[in-house]
């Protein structure tokens, strides 16, 4: 080997050393100029350098750590993470011991000081991740818990239920109890929401006292709570629900005042794939949502029956597998604007003028075509979609009234309201917002209410109807005469109109009893200053008979079938032209 070769290799090695020293110098200069980087650990796992920011973050002077191995500073459980970074790059958060003995979470990042593509050190960032970790924990807790009561919220309940829902036949069952407070609205309306909030804060501790450690008590919103009961069958869940019901036996003390608030509880149990109900829910991709839906159905049954506790009964639930699939599609259909409205005109029996139209919802199903309301409205009423459905129909109807008005046609519209919606204290506010959004006067909107909606919770319904009347919205009592309690409650109901049920109107020419009943209803309504609408008018003879009884308004196929909005516009134009021609002829 020549001396020249030796000198060449020595020169190359010297140049490599200079390059390495220059890279190290540049790196250390960068480290000293920023507070973000402070400790350098080489590929052998030894600390070779520490910046002055080390003292501010961990309390150590730089010389105290230089030359020490990473194991002396990093938590034993995190040493492996540092070695992984040295071997393959990337970043991580590790615990590093401060001078006072506490562990701080710090960011660690693999670096290539020489720029040759190989990791030759890791750098601990001075950005302390401990406070950020605590903040993340707090944010995560807030996202999963109710801010008022501190209980797990709906998101937490759903997550826990999905983790425990039985997927195999040998898996233990999972029960849920849905809890809705009775008479809670009276507390809010009488004493104010502050008192109501203080009462709600007492519900959680009472419920937790009656369940096992592994059970989950959650607040779903408003005055609705739920309890997740893993491993319990129908009998066990019913017994647990009875214990939960007992939590409401004693009054709640708020500011020294004893408040008696009861509850209605619905129980549902999910089993493995062999369970028909569970399998049906799974077909819609909503096994947990379906479990809560069944508990909700049972809870409303308990409320309507005054039973306290009801276990879901598949035999009394009209939702078979195909209906469950339809429910999932309906929820999506409402959100995607698949609902359409047809309108049936109502005319005055004194002159035949148009007095308004009734909006009748249809569902333009993407696969099954145009579905009548009987195929999906009952489904919405028993599944928690009643509010969304009603809001959507009101919105569509008012939008059409606005379009008619813009075209010079003033038409009042009536919209049916379900029984469940009439117990919703937020309904008047949403109606007011819809009227303002579409620029429609309140007197052009009429809400048709069923008698069952008014007598299920008479006080609650009275508050909602009074608020609607205060807006200027007209109220109509639909299907009048079909309920035994109509006469009793009529005097206290703020309605503007009664609609005689079609079953009496269609038979009044053939049945003397129906004829007497219709005449009595017309006379009663007029004595109370209420307008009368006869539904189901299907021939000219019935129309004439109703005119002889001084009935005010007629609606039915003889007048016009329900038709799309454009056909209503054409019909109104033609109808008014005929009316003018008759008037001129006479």
Q: Using the predicted structure, report yes or no on whether residue 37 has a pLDDT greater than 70.
A: no
* Tokens (6 digits) for 220: 């779903």
What average pLDDT does range 512-517 have in this prediction? 87
Sheet architecture: strand order including 224-230 = 216-221, 224-230, 174-182, 262-270, 309-311
User: Going by C-beta distance under 8 Å and a sequence separation of 6 or more, which residues neighbour residue 572?
Assistant: 345, 354, 409, 411
Taking a C-beta distance cutoff of 8 angstroms, is the pair 367, 561 a contact? no
Find the helix or strand (DSSP H, E) in which 581 lies: helix 565-585
Q: Using the predicted structure, report yes or no on whether residue 119 has a pLDDT greater than 60.
A: yes
Distance (Å, rounded) from C-alpha 385 to C-alpha 396? 17
Place 132 in a pLDDT band, splitting at 50, 70 and 90.
Answer: very low
Res 141: pLDDT:
65
What is the overall mean pLDDT for the chain?
Answer: 80
* Tokens (6 digits) for 569: 């516009």
Res 484: pLDDT:
40
Res 450: pLDDT:
73
Res 31: pLDDT:
47
Distance (Å, rounded) from C-alpha 259 to C-alpha 468? 28
Q: In percent, how much of the chain has pLDDT > 70?
A: 77
Distance (Å, rounded) from C-alpha 519 to C-alpha 453? 25
Q: Which residue has the higher pLDDT, 454 or 56?
A: 56
* Tokens (6 digits) for 533: 């609408």
Sign of CA dihedral 42, 45, 49, 54: positive
Res 273: pLDDT:
66
Name residue, tokens 């699939």. 325
Q: Which residue has the higher pLDDT, 15 or 197?
A: 197
- Please return the burial class of 381, using the count of CB atoms within 10 Å of its CB with bins 0-12, 13-18 and 19+: middle
CATH fold of 26-131 reads Beta-Lactamase (3.30.450)
Sign of CA dihedral 399, 359, 516, 488: negative
Res 33: pLDDT:
44
Res 395: pLDDT:
95
Q: Using the predicted structure, report yes or no on whether residue 501 has a pLDDT greater than 50.
A: yes
**CATH 3.30.70.270 boundaries in the chain:** 148-317
Count, in order, helices (H) and strands (E) of the chain: 22, 21
Place 402 in a pLDDT band, splitting at 50, 70 and 90.
Answer: very high
Q: Which residue has the higher pLDDT, 232 or 488?
A: 232
Q: Using the predicted structure, report yes or no on whether residue 5 has a pLDDT greater than 80.
A: no
Taking a C-beta distance cutoff of 8 angstroms, is the pair 223, 180 a contact? yes
Distance (Å, rounded) from C-alpha 312 to C-alpha 214? 23
Determine the CATH number of domain 148-317: 3.30.70.270
Res 25: pLDDT:
52
* Tokens (6 digits) for 182: 């009775």
Place 14 in a pLDDT band, splitting at 50, 70 and 90.
Answer: very low
Phi, psi for residue 358 in degrees, rounded to 5? -105, 130
Res 459: pLDDT:
66
Res 489: pLDDT:
53
What average pLDDT does range 463-481 have in this prediction? 86
Q: Using the predicted structure, report yes or no on whether residue 444 has a pLDDT greater than 80.
A: yes
Strands (E), 366-496: 369-371, 413-417, 445-450, 474-480
CATH fold of 326-449+458-477+494-501+509-571 reads TIM Barrel (3.20.20)
The CA-to-CA distance between both ends of the chain, in Å, stands at 133
What average pLDDT does range 6-11 have in this prediction? 49
**CATH 3.20.20.450 boundaries in the chain:** 326-449+458-477+494-501+509-571
Q: In percent, how much of the chain has pLDDT > 90?
A: 30
Place 390 in a pLDDT band, splitting at 50, 70 and 90.
Answer: very high
Range list of H helices, 175-233: 184-191, 193-209
**CATH 3.30.450.20 boundaries in the chain:** 26-131
Place 319 in a pLDDT band, splitting at 50, 70 and 90.
Answer: very low
What average pLDDT does range 63-68 have in this prediction? 82
Res 278: pLDDT:
45
């Amino acid at each position: 080997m020549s001396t020249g070769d030796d000198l060449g290799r020595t020169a190359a090695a010297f140049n490599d050393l200079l390059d390495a020293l220059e890279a190290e110098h540049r790196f250390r200069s960068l480290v000293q100029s920023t507070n973000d980087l402070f400790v350098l650990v080489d590929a052998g796992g030894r600390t070779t350098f520490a910046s002055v920011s080390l003292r501010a973050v961990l309390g150590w002077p730089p010389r105290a750590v230089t030359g020490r191995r990473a194991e002396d500073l990093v938590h034993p459980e995190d040493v492996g993470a540092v070695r992984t970074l040295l071997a393959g790059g990337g970043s991580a958060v590790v615990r590093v011991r401060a001078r006072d003995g506490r562990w701080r979470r710090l960011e660690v990042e693999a670096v290539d000081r020489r720029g040759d593509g190989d990791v030759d050190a890791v750098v601990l960032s001075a950005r302390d991740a401990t406070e950020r970790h605590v903040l993340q924990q707090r944010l995560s807790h807030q996202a999963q818990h109710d801010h008022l009561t501190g209980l797990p919220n709906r998101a937490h309940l759903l997550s826990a239920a999905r983790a425990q829902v039985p997927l195999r036949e040998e898996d233990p069952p999972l029960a849920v109890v849905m809890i809705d407070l009775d008479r809670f609205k009276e507390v809010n309306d009488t004493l104010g929401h502050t008192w109501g909030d203080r009462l709600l804060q007492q519900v959680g501790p009472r419920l937790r006292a009656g369940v096992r450690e592994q059970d989950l008590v959650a607040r779903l919103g408003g005055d609705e709570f739920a309890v997740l009961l893993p491993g319990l069958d129908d009998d066990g869940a019913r017994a647990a629900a009875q214990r939960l019901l007992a939590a409401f036996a004693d009054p709640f003390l708020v500011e020294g005042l004893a408040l008696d608030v009861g509850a209605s509880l619905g129980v549902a149990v999910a089993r493995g794939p062999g369970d028909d109900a569970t399998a049906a829910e799974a077909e819609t991709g909503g096994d947990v949502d379906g479990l809560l839906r069944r508990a909700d159905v049972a809870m409303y049954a308990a409320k309507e029956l005054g039973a306290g506790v009801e276990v879901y009964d598949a035999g009394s639930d009209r939702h078979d597998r195909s209906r469950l699939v339809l429910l999932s599609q309906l929820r999506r259909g409402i959100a995607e604007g698949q609902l359409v409205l047809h309108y049936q005109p109502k005319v005055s029996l004194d002159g035949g003028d148009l007095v308004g139209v009734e909006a009748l919802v249809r569902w333009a199903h993407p696969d099954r075509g145009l579905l009548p309301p009987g195929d999906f409205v009952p489904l919405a009423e028993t599944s928690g979609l009643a509010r969304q459905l009603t809001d959507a129909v009101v919105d569509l109807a008012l939008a059409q009234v606005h379009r008619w008005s813009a075209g010079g046609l003033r038409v009042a519209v009536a919209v049916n309201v379900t029984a469940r919606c009439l117990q919703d204290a937020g309904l008047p506010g949403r109606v007011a917002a819809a009227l303002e959004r579409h620029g429609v006067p309140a007197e052009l909107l009429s809400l048709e209410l069923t008698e069952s909606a008014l007598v299920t919770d008479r006080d609650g319904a009275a508050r909602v109807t009074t608020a609607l009347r205060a807006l200027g919205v007209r109220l109509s009592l639909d299907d009048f005469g079909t309920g035994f309690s109509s006469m009793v409650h009529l005097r206290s109901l703020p309605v503007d109109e009664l609609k005689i049920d079609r079953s009496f109107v269609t038979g009044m020419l053939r049945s003397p009893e129906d004829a007497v009943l219709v005449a009595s209803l017309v006379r009663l309504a007029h004595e109370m200053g209420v307008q009368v609408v006869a539904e189901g008018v299907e021939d000219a003879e019935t129309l004439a008979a109703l005119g002889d009884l001084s009935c005010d308004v007629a609606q039915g196929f003889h007048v016009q079938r329900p038709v799309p909005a454009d056909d209503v516009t054409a019909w109104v134009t033609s109808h008014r032209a005929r009316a003018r021609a008759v008037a001129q002829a006479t």
